[in-house]
Amino acid sequence: MATNTEHIPDSTRHPMRVTWDVWSAMYLREMIARTMADRMAWFWMIFEPIATIGVMIFIRTYIRGGRNITGAEFVPWMIVGLMGFYLFREAMLRPMGAVEANRGLFTYRQILPIDPVLIRCFVEGMIRSFIFLLFVVVGSLLKINLIPDHAFGVMMDWLSLWMLGVGLGVLLSVASGLVPEVGRVVRIVTLPLLLISGVIFPVTYVPAQYQQYLLWNPIVHGIESMRLSFFDSYHSIPGIDMTYLWFWALASLTLGLVMHVRFASRLKAR
């Protein structure tokens, strides 16, 4: 006797298989929306760091005089810092709009508010990693030394900054979903973060008695650790510790996941 096995209801499928199918579909949807919805999307993602680097080269060359960084060339030093910060920033900011943008999908019982948040974090990580590799390749062709001295260390530091952004992004996706004003405040704060995270100005320029306060910022640990891995002769301030960054990343991710479980129904209903 022939049996019909072509259509298997979701109830008989393994939950992990259902989750994988949902995430795969959402990944394709998010990647297309992120890269193709706006014809200038790729241009702005690449132009932003180039414009920032150009402005900083002008300031350091014609206003402050000289562009020397101890143990590293200025342009590669700047690119590494900007790429690391943009990775963190986008992984933190993009998830805040994920719940609202995908609210229509919550009518399907397989999709939870955490799903589009995690997918956006992953998509941003992939896009920023591709852009960083593009800078490395193009920089090498232009005789800009962007080949890391310790490639594995750079990859681990890159992953660490990504996870820090993911942790805060998951947490803020709940907070901004419940209180929309949170998202506006966080976006305003990103500019001061750029200035106090050692991205465009060396942390060694800060007087020694104030350097300890910079170390309260976990982004400083990630960016400076990546530079130390990138440039063998580079010297940073004492106290750089990736354990501190991972404490922030795991603590915020855990709290964010707990809040997603606690407020899942409210996030769906808003």
Q: How many other CB atoms are there within 10 angstroms of residue 45's CB atom? A: 18
Q: What percent of the chain has pLDDT over 90?
A: 44
Token pair 């500019």 in the structure block, residue = 191
120 vs 1: CA distance, rounded Å: 47
38 CB-contact burial (10 Å; exposed 0-12 / middle 13-18 / buried 19+): exposed
Backbone dihedral region of 68: left (phi > 0), alpha (psi from -120 to 50 degrees) or beta? Answer: beta
Q: How many Cα atoms are found within 13 Å in the side-chain-facing hemisphere of 16? A: 0
Quick one: CA torsion of 65, 67, 70, 71, rounded to 10 degrees? -160
What pLDDT does residue 270 have?
A: 65
Instruction: Provide the whole-model pTM.
Output: 0.87
Give the DSSP letter of residue 69: B
Q: How confident is the model at residue 101 (pLDDT cuts 50, 70, 90)?
A: confident
User: Could you identify the residue written with the tokens 């342009």?
Assistant: 75
- What pLDDT is attached to residue 12? 66
Is residue 1's pLDDT more than 50? no
> Which residues lie across from 69 on neighbouring strands?
72
For 2-17, write each residue's pLDDT tens digit.
444 344 444 566 667 7
**Amino acid at the residue 259:** M
Mean pLDDT score of the chain: 86
pLDDT of residue 67: 56
Are 34 and 116 in contact, with CB atoms under 8 Å apart? no
Range scoring the smallest mean pLDDT among 84-88, 108-112, 230-234 = 108-112
Distance (Å, rounded) from C-alpha 127 to C-alpha 228?
24
Q: What is the pLDDT of residue 132?
A: 92
pLDDT digits (tens, 9 = 90+) for 35-65: 776 777 777 778 888 888 888 777 776 655 5
| Nearest-angstrom CA–CA distance, 33 and 184 | 22
Residue 270 is classified by DSSP as -
Q: How confident is the model at residue 32 (pLDDT cuts 50, 70, 90)?
A: confident
Q: Which residues contact 168 (CB under 8 A, 6 or more apart)?
A: 91, 92, 248, 252, 256
pLDDT tens-digit profile of 236-269? 999 999 999 999 999 999 999 999 999 988 888 7
Average pLDDT over residues 214-232: 95
Q: What is the pLDDT of residues 165-222, one digit of tens each?
A: 999 999 999 999 888 899 899 999 988 898 899 888 888 888 888 999 999 999 999 9
Rounded average pLDDT over 107-126: 89
